[in-house]
Amino acid sequence: MSRRPTTGRGAPRRRTRLGQGAETRAATAPTVSKKPEGLQLYDATGARKYVTAEERAAFLAAAERSPRQVRTLCLMLAYSGCRLSEALGLTADRVDLDAGLLIIETLKKRRTGVYRGVPVPAHVLEALDLVHGVRELQRKRGRGRDVRLWPVSRTTAWRRMAEVLDAAGIAGPQSSPKGLRHGFGVQAVSSGVPLNLVQRWLGHAQLSTTAIYADAVGAEERGLMARMWG
């Protein structure tokens, strides 16, 4: 009678205790999530990548001296925290004048048609209506569904924003539309807005992404530090 080989080809496959342990550990090991690249508030040299409240005020003051459609785009970015491409996709029907909301399509999603409502101050809505004729467009057939408020390319819009930022005297890594977006997040968190609400306004998929704004040292923290040292 031939004996079944214990090693080599034809030998029975045997699950060892080590193999069992390794498989168990692999199945139960926690998944460590990493923050996506590019979502830090400081660059490799430690330079700030978000605008401060003072820089935002200077930006808006410079926007007042710009052409009307450039000014409204500046208002959109500063007060909604949206991405530049999201602003350029805004159509007249998604300006909710009665509710005080901008209905923004979130672009960094795996599917299209994902929207979020962002409340903005009344003067922003009034400017959009005055410059772009939002209310009149909404009375027409289709309610302005196919009418973009800023029908320009992203390159052109980025160039116009860079000009306003330069006129405001803002220089450095924060001098960009993304710097305005980061500044919105920092301002919201520093003002006590709950992180989950900031997450919704900014269209972040993960709360951990929004949490980076809690790392910024804002005016409120500087005030606490000043009181601590008398």
Domain with residue 174: its CATH number is 1.10.443.10
- Crossing angle, helix 154-167 and helix 53-63, to 10 degrees? 110
**Residue 168 near residue 62 (C-beta atoms within 8 A):** yes
Residue-number span of the structural domain to which 178 is assigned: 53-216
46 part of a folded domain: no
pLDDT surpassing 80 at residue 223: no
pLDDT of residue 228: 73
Share of residues in the chain with pLDDT > 90 (%): 66
State both tokens at 212. Answer: 């980076």
Is pLDDT larger for residue 47 or for residue 26?
Answer: 47
pLDDT surpassing 80 at residue 91: yes
- Model pTM score: 0.79
222 part of a folded domain: no
7 part of a folded domain: no
> How far, in Å, are 37, 60, 179 from residue 172 at the CA level?
19, 18, 10
8 part of a folded domain: no
Number of structural domains (the chain) is 1
84 part of a folded domain: yes
**Residue 129 near residue 144 (C-beta atoms within 8 A):** no
Query: pLDDT by residue (tens digit) across 163-221?
Result: 999 999 999 999 999 999 999 999 998 888 999 999 999 999 899 999 888 877 655 56
CB within 8 A of 86, min separation 6: which ones?
Answer: 104, 105, 106, 107, 203
124 part of a folded domain: yes
Determine the 3-state secondary structure of 97 from DSSP.
coil
If you count DSSP H runs as helices and E runs as strands, how many of each does the chain have, helices first? Answer: 11, 3
